[in-house]
Amino acid sequence: MSKADTQLMIELENVDKFFGSFQALKGVSLTVGKGEKVVVCGPSGSGKSTLIRCINRLEEHNSGKIVINGHELTSQVKDIDAVRREVGMVFQSFNLFPHLTVIENLMLAPRLVRKTSKNENRENAMRLLERVKIPDQAEKWPSQLSGGQQQRVAIARALCMNPEVILFDEPTSALDPEMISEVLDVMTDLAQEGMTMIVVTHEMGFARSVADKVVFMDEGEIVETGPPETFFDNPKSDRTKQFLEQILTH
Amino acid sequence: MDAITGWWDDFFWGSLVVVELFFVALIMTVLFGLIGAGAKLSNSRIAQNIAAGYTIVFRGTPEILVLLLFYFGSAIALTSIAQIFDPEVKFVDFPPFWAGSFAIALIIGSYATETFRGAFLGVDPGQIEAARALGLSNLQTFIYVRIPAMWRLALPPFGNHMLSLIKDTALVAIIGLEETLFVAEQAIATTAKPFTMYILVGLIYLGFSTVITLTVMVLEKYANRHLEVAR
Amino acid sequence: MSFDIDLIIDSIPKMLMGIGLTFQLLFLSLLLGTALAIILLIMRISGRWYLSWPTMAFIYIFRGTPILVQIFIIYYGFPQLEIIRESIFWPILKEPFGCAIVALTLNTGAYVSEIFRGGVLGVDRGLKEAGAALGLSVTQRFIYITSPIALRLCLPAYSNDVISLMKSTALASTITLLDMMGIARTIVAETYAPYEIFTSVMVIYLIITWIIQRTFGWIEKRMSRHIRKEA
């Protein structure tokens, strides 16, 4: 487990988010240091997805402050763009572009957003495909790959933009069981290389072995935060205890 | 069949006019369709209402009526404008080619509006999110992700619109455009063989619609090439 | 450019006299065309090549050529052929009304049979299998299971076709029939006031379209009510 640096990567201060009259986030405050791995867990509807989607502005927070690597996230387009260049995202349903081959999927954003040259772009992309262990799939269409392979491509795609932090929104929830470990392995490698990661997941094994900090959310609030040993073996709140019982005994 | 000899040339040039009309109208149709869909999908109530009015009027009015209205209407408008400059002017003609292609484009454009709108709505929002999460601007997302996803959905119904388009071009003969039906009428005047001539026109159009259908089939295959090989 | 209100008020009743003919063309062609469509559908899905191929050819020809050309072939072209002049159909085919009905019927038949086919293909295979498992014969499955579901599925497309047919009736004015469009064109020829006349007749057509759409909306609601109740 890597030591969290004192440099703050992400800071949420008292963030509220409403969907109409429904409050999805209630005064959420959280800090994530550079190189820190944070796992967010909780029952469905607890706001964990909303939380990370606010970080890269896929959702707009209604009040409170969100600061990423020194940039405050406001409604200004250039602030949003600046944030999105630093923050990568991996989705539950992969969201690969079906009309582009695997390698084209990786090369699109660097070409358009960072204006990387074609050769450099392709080299980077191939290197990342090797890193996620599927370089031979470069010219295939996403629909030709298995779920596990597609998600690994999605991780590579996020990495292509050289982000400072990657958000994972339930990356393995849509996968068949036998493919979960190949994706978790890639994520573990990433963690060991020092990437800052926020992972929303139910995979408690992963949380135990990789996380620096586990956050439990329920009904829009952060109920408990702590390092994995304390969190899993000695949860402070009753709600946390209840949740862990449900998750760990099935 | 010998009745047709001597007329092949004229029918050929008439067919060329049809092809020109088709492409000009097609470009305008796509334009009107995109603008209309954009208006309907926008947040502006005014834009939505205007687009709704547009589709209602042009989908519910007989094509021949639209053509006549545009042709005579624009001739009158042009004449009035001309009379401001020169009161002696009696009547300014509006070229039937442009009146015709514009009118047809408005008509088919109203159908295309609905088609494009449905196709845009059918784009997987997850892809748009992925594009935005990667930092692509709105314009870049639109061009590189939205449009490719949307035209695959729009292609089959748009293929039908193109068939309607080519068939509507026949109506422009009513406002005097010298295309195939016009040639046929001249040929009939000399040869007194209406059946032969009109069948020929029918065959010409059948040829055109076959080309369009085949082209759409090829385009559909291309648009779906990444799906056919699914595991 | 003046807008002559008096002229409009004067002309509307005259144009409405044409509405009778418009409706006759619409309903008669719709009825006969739908009946033809059912026959064509059965031939098409019969699985026997000598039935399905001619049907596909028929549909291909009638959907690939402009209705105007079809009307001209039947009205202007057929009299050229002796076989037609000596057949029992001649009394119908020498009248413009008869020709219009024949053209519209054949056209509608082609389009609607494809619409029905789409509906039939849209019926879930599992439902047909359940019917088979229960011991129903092919015909029984078709009548009691496939048809009701297919009908509901193709209702939107069918209503669109009815509106198209309504618009096509306006083409009857090109072969001297005095439906609404025919009367409108006559008045315009006399008064040189295309804007007023054509705009008014357009409004009338839009009202008819609106009525057709509402009617089908109501029918669709009624047919879906069964679904919602069972759910």
Beta strands in C77-189 (DSSP E): none
Average pLDDT, chain B: 88
Strand order in the sheet with A63-68: A22-33, A8-19, A63-68, A71-72
Distance CA A102, CA A160 (A): 12
Amino acid at C55: T
* B142 min Cα distance to partner chain A (Å): 12
Q: Which amino acid is at C33?
A: G
**Tokens encoding A99:** 């009309």
Give the per-residue pLDDT at C231.
Answer: 36
- B113: domain range? 16-178
**Section C7-35 average pLDDT:** 88
The residue length of chain B stands at 231
Strand order in the sheet with A37-41: A87-90, A165-169, A196-200, A37-41, A213-218, A221-226
Which residues in chain C are contacts of B174 at CB distance < 8 A? 68, 174
State the pLDDT at residue A1: 41
Is 80 exceeded by the pLDDT of residue A100? yes
pLDDT at residue B85, as a whole number: 76
* Residues C73-82 pLDDT 10s: 999 888 888 8
User: Cα separation of B196 and B206, whole Å?
Assistant: 15
The pLDDT value recorded for residue A4 is 44
Confidence of residue A250 (pLDDT cuts 50, 70, 90): low
Nearest to B202 among C65, C166, C173 (CB): C65
**β-bridge pairing A8-19 and A22-33:** antiparallel
* Interchain CB distance below 8 Å, A91 and B126: yes
- Distance in angstroms (rounded) separating the CA atoms of residues B94 and B214: 35
A89 and B133 in contact by Cβ < 8 A? yes
Q: Is B72 on the interface with C (CB under 8 A)?
A: yes
With a cut of 60, say whether residue C228 has pLDDT above it.
no
Q: What is the pLDDT of residue C227?
A: 58
Query: CATH number of the domain that B108 lies in?
Result: 1.10.3720.10
In a domain, B219, yes or no: no
Out of A14-23, A194-203, B83-92, C25-34, least confident range: B83-92
User: Which residue in chain B is spatially nearest to A145 when comparing CA positions?
Assistant: B231
How far is it, in rounded angstroms, from Cα A72 to Cα B15? 63
Q: Please give the tally of structural domains in chain B.
A: 1
Best residue in B54, B65, B200 to probe C by mutation, most C CBs within 10 Å? B65
**DSSP 3-state of A12:** strand
CATH of region C23-176, choose from 1.10.3720.10, 3.40.605.10, 3.10.20.30, 1.10.940.10? 1.10.3720.10
Tokens 């997850």 correspond to: B126
How high is the pLDDT of residue B28?
96
Q: Which residue of C has its CA nearest to B72?
A: C194
Q: What's the one-letter identity of residue C170? A: A
Q: Coil, strand or helix: which one is A67?
A: strand
pLDDT of residue C230: 38
Structure letter (DSSP) for residue A214: E
**Domain range list for chain C:** 23-176
Asked if A76 and A83 touch (Cβ cutoff 8 Å), the reply is no
ipTM of the predicted structure? 0.84
Residues 10-69 of A with CB under 8 A from B: 56-58
pLDDT tens-digit readout, B2-50:
667 778 888 888 899 999 999 999 999 999 999 999 999 888 899 999 9
Per cent of chain C over pLDDT 70 is: 95
CB C41 within 8 A of CB C120: yes
User: Residue A216: what pLDDT?
Assistant: 93
Specify the pairing of strand A37-41 against strand A213-218: parallel
